[in-house]
Amino acid sequence: MPDKKIKITYILFQLNKALAFEWIVDHINHEKFELSFISIYVNENSFFENFCKERSIEFHRIEYSSKKSIPAAIFQTYKILRKIKPDAVHCHIFEANIIGLTAAYLAGIKNRIFTRHHASFHHITAPSGLKYDKYCNKIATHIIAISENVKAILVNLEHVPSEKITLIHHGFDLPLFYNISEERLSIVEKKYNPTNKHPVIGLVSRYTKWKGLKYAIEAFSKFLNDYPNALLILANAKGEASDVAIVKNYLSHLPKDSFTEIEFENDNGALFKLFDVFVHVPVDKNSEAFGQTYIEALAVGVPSVFTLSGVACEFIENGKNALVVDYQNSEQINSAINRILSDKALDYQLFINGRKDIEKYFSLPLFIDKLEQIYSL
């Protein structure tokens, strides 16, 4: 008689589509694990809901409109968990952590896991959120830290026992980023660079102060003196209204035809392939919890200019797999971009070493294996 499957219920917040969860659904060992999902604050028939339905994965939606909805969302989640009776819950994103962990505790679920996706945000920018972080840290039985930076914040600043924390880096289906067809590249090029401007400098970052967009834009302004036909592409161009206004002000000093803003592009791999140089320059070491774009850029093979934040502190080496610049330094960013464009040997070296390192640390099989281990405890 086969062993009973381990039932895992994921509790998510405001997620319409996310490749990471699609990869988990498709690659976890379904002979050993049975997955279900509770999604909070998402429209009916979202992309991910339909994805789960196609694979006969149990999926539930919870209504949510504001923080006032939290008590009702906890009750609804509790009722669903009492019905499913999972062996463990795994919560993702701040509101889902509060709702899901509380409901799981009330439902008597012994294994309550959450992944910590933010770093020092509540310590620096929004201290009112710290009490909720501490509550989640206490009520959870296991916490997944996505980088050493997040783990250090949990242990040193929030005093979480280290034995409660497991380091699991995000995993990526890397072959999806390796061979970008000319057809895919042509589609994004026609959308975002129809006049064939060159070189193309890419930023993929929400409009948030600590992402360092100010310094990247200042660097591009200087860069235009040497490359007047250059194009700056800013993807994921959205955020809080006040932060968006600040970035828009910086951009207003550039020629209007020298930059393109993109709120969302589904083919992220092709978009990265469009860049001649990628720039990601958070303003300090601790702001970035992980930094998915570090991995995506190196997977596609784009030579990159980075500051060390989040997971980059663990594996990025200046001159080996990227060029590293000081925090908040537009002069160094400009110099690094120029260096990459003028040195083909360096470009190739960064490509080879970058891909080798991400395969070592961030492959999907490695990620799935570590998840399965924590679910089997």
Rounded to whole angstroms, the Cα distance separating 184 from 20 reads 21
| 325-354 exposure pattern, b = at least 16 Cβ within 10 A, e = fewer | bebbbbebbbbbbbbbbeeeeebeebbebb
Whether residue 107 is found in the same domain as residue 189:
no
Return the pLDDT at 1: 40
Closest C-alpha among 294, 314, 290 to residue 304: 294
Tens of pLDDT along 177-226? 998 999 999 999 999 999 999 999 999 999 999 999 999 999 999 999 99
Rounded to whole angstroms, the Cα distance separating 142 from 165 reads 6
Return the pLDDT at 377: 84
Whether residue 268 is found in the same domain as residue 313:
yes
Q: Are 95 and 12 in contact (CB under 8 A)?
A: no
Q: What are the C-alpha distances in Å from 206 to residues 15, 150, 203, 309?
A: 16, 20, 9, 15
Q: What is the mean pLDDT of residues 362-368?
A: 97
* Containing structural domain, residue 12: 6-171+363-375
Q: What is the mean pLDDT of residues 17-38?
A: 96
Q: Is residue 268 part of a domain?
A: yes
Tens of pLDDT along 96-142? 999 999 999 999 999 999 999 999 989 988 999 999 999 999 999 99
With a CB cutoff of 8 Å and minimum separation 6, the contacts of 276 are 198, 199, 200, 201, 302, 303, 341
Whether residue 134 is found in the same domain as residue 180:
no
Strand order of the β-sheet with 277-280 is: 259-262, 231-235, 200-204, 277-280, 304-306, 323-324
Count of domains observed in the chain: 2
Whether residue 104 is found in the same domain as residue 207:
no
Rounded to whole angstroms, the Cα distance separating 50 from 21 reads 13
Whether residue 223 is found in the same domain as residue 288:
yes
Whether residue 197 is found in the same domain as residue 342:
yes
| Residue scoring higher pLDDT (334 or 124) | 334
Q: Is residue 327 part of a domain?
A: yes
Question: 231-235 and 142-145 as β-strands: parallel, antiparallel, unpaired?
Answer: unpaired
Q: What is the pTM of this model?
A: 0.92
Q: What is the mean pLDDT of residues 316-337?
A: 98
Q: How far is CA 349 from the centre of its chain?
A: 26
Q: How confident is the model at residue 327 (pLDDT cuts 50, 70, 90)?
A: very high
Q: Is residue 133 part of a domain?
A: yes
User: The CATH number of the domain where 18 resides is what?
Assistant: 3.40.50.2000
Q: Is residue 1 part of a domain?
A: no
Whether residue 228 is found in the same domain as residue 321:
yes
What distance, in Å, lies between the first and last C-alpha atoms of the chain? 22
Return the pLDDT at 2: 54
Q: Is residue 188 part of a domain?
A: yes
Neighbouring C-alpha atoms within 13 Å toward the C-beta of 93: 13
Element (H, E) at 330: helix 330-342
R_g of the chain computed on alpha carbons: 21
Neighbouring C-alpha atoms within 13 Å toward the C-beta of 182: 0
Whether residue 244 is found in the same domain as residue 97:
no
Tens of pLDDT along 225-267? 999 999 999 999 999 999 999 999 999 999 999 999 999 998 9
Q: Is residue 25 part of a domain?
A: yes
Q: Is residue 339 part of a domain?
A: yes
Whether residue 230 is found in the same domain as residue 371:
no
Q: Is residue 163 part of a domain?
A: yes
Whether residue 125 is found in the same domain as residue 181:
no
Return the pLDDT at 211: 97
Q: What is the mean pLDDT of residues 297-320?
A: 98
Return the pLDDT at 27: 97
With the C-alpha atoms ordered 35, 36, 38, 43, is the resulting torsion angle positive or negative? positive
Query: In the numeric block, which tokens belong to residue 209?
Result: 């102060």
Query: What is the average pLDDT score of the chain?
Result: 96
Rounded to whole angstroms, the Cα distance separating 9 from 12 reads 10
Percent of the chain with pLDDT over 70: 99
Q: What is the mean pLDDT of residues 336-357?
A: 97
Asked whether residue 35 carries a pLDDT value surpassing 70, the answer given is yes
Whether residue 162 is found in the same domain as residue 61:
yes
Rounded to whole angstroms, the Cα distance separating 294 from 307 reads 10
Q: Are 308 and 149 in contact (CB under 8 A)?
A: no
Tens of pLDDT along 129-159? 999 999 999 999 999 999 999 999 999 999 9
Whether residue 136 is found in the same domain as residue 190:
no
